[in-house]
Copies of this chain bind each other. A is one copy, B any other.
Amino acid sequence: MARLATIRDVAARAGVSIATVSRVLNGDVPANPVTAAKVRAAAAELEFRPNRLGRGLKIARTRVLGVLIPSLSNPVFADSVGGIQAAARRAGYSVLIAATGYDAEREDAEIESLLSHRVEGLVVTVADADRSAALAKLDRSGTPYELVYNLPEATCRPAVAVDNIAAARVVVSAMIALGHRRIGMIAGRFLASDRSRQRHAGFMAALNEAGLPPGPVIEVAFDDLRLGGGFGSALTGSGRPTALFCSNDLLALAVMGALHDLGLRIPDDVSVAGFDGIGFGSLLRPSLATVVQPARAMGEAAFERLLARLDGAPPAPPLTLPFTLRHGGSLGPAPSPQP
């Protein structure tokens, strides 16, 4: 670190004690106006920036927030982080951000690192909240946190999310209402993603309600959106699904490309819907039908809840925010006759 001015430098230049410098600059207690002026002048001349390490160590507050997300390249996370940052800035907090690539080991390591930096609280999105060792450790640490997107089922943890099951059910019901009878799902690995499991549950619920059997359910890895191999055979030929529900928008975009390559037209041959509501989906042609999560607002809400906790409020129950169904050209009536 470059050698920056310390409070001692300012005190010397102003001809006062460091205690006085601290008091003047923090502006809490009254000070002699001429002393204050001298201090301020010295601080300005030296471009004094109080060292937050010193302050943090003393007052045991860092005004730093930790953010843990799978990846910044998914706009749904970039947007929630944008909300967190905006709210944090308003409250005078800085934000330490770590990306995990959906890797449990990295989740753990980054939580350790964040805690070591003594973040006052964390906003966290993990791959699978119910079986996360990192989260269990976080619980033991006593540092307050809020989950975003994850809504654990087996444990009661503070979270801001949408009702994934209900939302998935709404999309799939919309498909059924459009005459689709063979509906498949492309999903992130259930073992690795609580959201993928929950959205699958909603998918099943809608089908059960309508008395329909599920179409093919294909699990894919997060980091492999190339969708090669067995993908094509399940989606072509007679008896193929006429609609595909994808567990997130990034997956849906990849699926649309793959279907195009298979020579299938969207939505004439096959309809597609996603989940998340990333902005780019509505720029596509056909535009992507999807569930819109209020990503930015979720980030803001998570930060506000955290702030309340830091101010002494008791943990709040999970906050479920409303989702909306965004209609799009990718979702149309079932082809007739059925393929």
A339 on the B face (CB < 8 A): no
Pairwise interchain contact B137-A47, C-beta atoms closer than 8 A: yes
Copies of this chain: 2
The 8 A CB mask of A75-105 against B (1 = contact, 0 = none) is: 1001101100110010000111111000000
Pairwise interchain contact B98-A95, C-beta atoms closer than 8 A: yes
The 8 A CB mask of A209-251 against B (1 = contact, 0 = none) is: 0000000000000000000000000000000000000000000
Which residues of A1-49 are within 8 A (CB) of B? 1-4, 47, 49
Interface size on A, residues (CB 8 A): 57
Pairwise interchain contact A117-B73, C-beta atoms closer than 8 A: no
A278: nearest chain-B partner, CB-CB: B280
A120: nearest chain-B partner, CB-CB: B1
* Of A60-68, A153-161, A320-328, the one with at least 4 CB within 8 A of chain B: A60-68
A315 on the B face (CB < 8 A): no
Pairwise interchain contact A72-B82, C-beta atoms closer than 8 A: yes
CA distance A229 to B190 in the complex (A): 49
A131 on the B face (CB < 8 A): no
CA distance A120 to B115 in the complex (A): 19
Q: Which residues of B contact A73 (CB under 8 A)?
A: 75, 78-79, 82, 279
Looking at the complex, which one of B52, B60, B99, B112 makes contact with A116 (CB distance below 8 Å)?
A: B52
A142 on the B face (CB < 8 A): yes
Pairwise interchain contact A97-B85, C-beta atoms closer than 8 A: yes
A141: nearest chain-B partner, CB-CB: B2
CA distance A78 to B80 in the complex (A): 13
Q: Which residues of B contact A115 (CB under 8 A)?
A: 4, 49
A283 on the B face (CB < 8 A): yes
CA distance A214 to B196 in the complex (A): 51
A121: nearest chain-B partner, CB-CB: B1
Whole-angstrom distance between the Cβ of A3 and the nearest chain B Cβ = 7
A112: nearest chain-B partner, CB-CB: B49
Q: Which residues of B contact A2 (CB under 8 A)?
A: 141-144
Whole-angstrom distance between the Cβ of A211 and the nearest chain B Cβ = 36
Q: Which residues of B contact A119 (CB under 8 A)?
A: 1
Whole-angstrom distance between the Cβ of A177 and the nearest chain B Cβ = 27
Q: Which residues of B contact A51 (CB under 8 A)?
A: 57, 116, 118
Looking at the complex, which one of B75, B114, B120 makes contact with A94 (CB distance below 8 Å)?
A: B114
A111: nearest chain-B partner, CB-CB: B49
A54 on the B face (CB < 8 A): yes
CB-CB under 8 A for A57 and B60, given A2-B142, A4-B141, A73-B78: no
CA distance A301 to B79 in the complex (A): 25
Q: Which residues of B contact A4 (CB under 8 A)?
A: 115, 118, 141-143
Whole-angstrom distance between the Cβ of A291 and the nearest chain B Cβ = 19
CA distance A89 to B120 in the complex (A): 21
What 4 pairs across the A-B complex have the smallest Cβ distances?
A: A2-B142, A280-B280, A72-B78, A53-B57
Interface pairs (5), CB distance under 8 Å? A4-B142, A71-B82, A75-B78, A94-B98, A96-B96
List 5 additional A-B contacts (Cβ < 8 Å) besides A4-B141, A85-B99, A94-B114.
A1-B118, A2-B141, A54-B57, A72-B72, A95-B96
